[in-house]
Amino acid sequence: MPRSSIARVADPHPGGALRRLNPDDLGDHLDRLYRAAWALCGNRHEAEDLVQDTYAAVLARPRFLRGDDDLGYLLRALRNTQVSRARAKGRRPLTTELGDRPEHRTRWDPGASDEVSALFAAIGALPKDFREALVAIDLIGLSYREAGRALRVREATITTRVHRARLRVAAAMGDEGAPG
C-alpha cells in the first residue's frame, strides 16, 4: 500500500485537530443549557433532570472535539439525551410529582415570573424542528451557522425555522401583531 494511502486510513478525522473537552469548563455553559432544556421540555423540573443527565453522559468518558465549539457539542448532547429519555419514558409507567421541592437558586431565576413560564411552555409546545432551532439561536446564543452545524441542517433552514418558531411563540403569547 502506498505511504499516502496509509496516512489517509490512519487519520479518521481529516481537516482539523481534535482536542479533549475540558470537564472544568462545562460549568460555564450550565445556565444556557438549562434554558435550552427548559424550552425543549416545557417544564422546569424535567429541564433540571435533562441537564443533569446530559452532563453525566458527557462526563462519563473523555470527549474529543474539533475546534472550539463546546456549546454546540453540548447542545447536540442535550438533544440526544432528551430523545433517549423520551424513548425510555415511553417504556415506563406514568408517575406523578408529589409536591414542590426547595428551589435551587442560580444567577438567573426563571421561575420568578409567570410570563417566563408561559413563554417556555409556548416554546416547549413548538414542533421539534422549530423548537430546536429557536433554542439554539435565541436561548443558547449560537450564530445561525453554528446552529446549522450543531443541528446538522443548512443555515437557511435554521433561518426559516427560527422565523416560523418566533411567529408561533408570539401568537401563543397573545401578541397582536403575530399572524394567527
Residue 148: the pLDDT is 92
Of residues 99 and 43, more confidence is placed in 43
Give me the phi and psi of 14, to 5 degrees please. Answer: -70, 155
pLDDT surpassing 50 at residue 52: yes
pLDDT surpassing 60 at residue 127: yes
d(CA 178, CA 175): 6
3-state helix, strand, coil in the chain (%, to 5): 65, 5, 30
Question: Residue 23 CA to chain centroid, in angstroms?
Answer: 18
Q: Percentage of the chain with pLDDT > 70?
A: 75
Residue 2: the pLDDT is 47
Residue keyed to cell 425555522 = 161
Residue 43: the pLDDT is 85
User: Domains along the chain?
Assistant: 19-90+113-172 (1.20.140.160)
Q: What is the pLDDT of residues 53-94, one digit of tens each?
A: 999 998 888 888 877 778 888 999 999 998 888 777 766 655
Residue keyed to cell 424542528 = 129
Q: What is the largest CA-CA distance in the chain?
A: 69
Q: Are 131 and 140 in contact (CB under 8 A)?
A: no
Residue type, 131: R
Confidence of residue 177 (pLDDT cuts 50, 70, 90): low
Q: Percentage of the chain with pLDDT > 90?
A: 32
Q: What is the pLDDT of residues 99-109, one digit of tens each?
A: 555 455 445 55
Average pLDDT rounded to a whole number, residues 146-160 = 93
pLDDT surpassing 70 at residue 12: no
pLDDT surpassing 90 at residue 155: yes
Residue 161: the pLDDT is 95
